[in-house]
Amino acid sequence: MGEYPGIKLIAIDMDGTLLDANHQVSEENRLAIREAEEKGIKVVLSTGRAIRTVKDYAVSLELSSYLVTVNGSEIWGPDGELVERNPVSTPLIKWMWDMSKHHKTHFWAISSTGNWHNEMPEDFEKHVWLKFGFDVEDDKVRELILKDLEARKEFELSNSSLKNIEVNAQGINKAKGLKNVCDLLGISMNNVLSIGDSLNDVAMIKEAGIGVAMGNAQDAVKKAANWVTATNLESGVAKAIRKWAI
């Protein structure tokens, strides 16, 4: 065992964390995850991505447990079943879409059935929406949008890069999703090792027994963490797993 004997679940962010610049999982990361699973430690991908772009990774890694997707908006079970869904109301999605048009920003949105980039479906009111994202190059414009979002007090706000804003339903984040998974598994958040690189990882890093920031993580994430590992190009996930869990 590593320095912390209580790890029963490892929560891993995907982009900028588990995945390299080509969206691949290194052999070192793959081996460390396999060893953790063989020791009976559950490995959970905890990501801003939708299930459609997570499933193949989970299958190829031979994961046996839950998946926390869209920053906690959805939790998927070991047999591919939907355990929980926490949507953003359609009027709020429309308000954010209008705001992106007003500020002429790029945006993306995730529904229960598809991902949308810089356009929305004609029948968008018939969709179940899980997350809205603003992609904004201009720092001043991003600050204005963030202030308007904060003023509503109806959202969970984070990011997955320094240029974007990710918007989930209020109170929904990766930590909340992982707490629910822990309840289902009968373990505590103290038994969790969380690894991530962006603001949407901060809650799960702070609330885990051990929170690890990637070497390429944003400064705020490094400050929130117990330990900083190597970058996503240097198999930092494997190094964290080997230090703290196996």
Query: pLDDT tens for residues 5-32?
Result: 499 999 999 999 999 999 999 999 999 9
- The pLDDT value recorded for residue 213 is 98
Question: Using CA atoms, how far apart are residues 112 and 82, in angstroms rounded to an integer?
Answer: 11
pTM for this model (two decimals): 0.95
For the sheet with 42-45, list strands across it.
Answer: 42-45, 9-12, 192-196, 210-213, 227-228
Q: What is the mean pLDDT of residues 43-68?
A: 96
Indicate whether 175 pLDDT > 50.
yes
**Which helix (H) or strand (E) is 90 found in, with range?**
helix 90-103
- The pLDDT value recorded for residue 2 is 42
Q: Angle, nearest 10°, between helix axes 27-38 and 236-244? A: 30
Active site residues per annotation = 13
DSSP codes, 24-60: -B-HHHHHHHHHHHHTT-EEEEB-SS-GGGTHHHHHH
CATH class of the domain at 90-169: alpha beta
Please write the tens of the pLDDT for every residue from 114-130. Answer: 999 999 999 999 999 99
Please write the tens of the pLDDT for every residue from 140-168. Answer: 999 999 999 999 999 999 999 999 999 99
- The pLDDT value recorded for residue 141 is 98
Domain-wise residue ranges, the chain: 9-85+173-244, 90-169
- The pLDDT value recorded for residue 93 is 98
Nearest one of 193, 196, 130, 129 to 159, comparing CA atoms? 196
Indicate whether 70 pLDDT > 60.
yes
Give the amino acid at 137.
E
CATH architecture under which domain 9-85+173-244 falls:
3-Layer(aba) Sandwich (3.40)
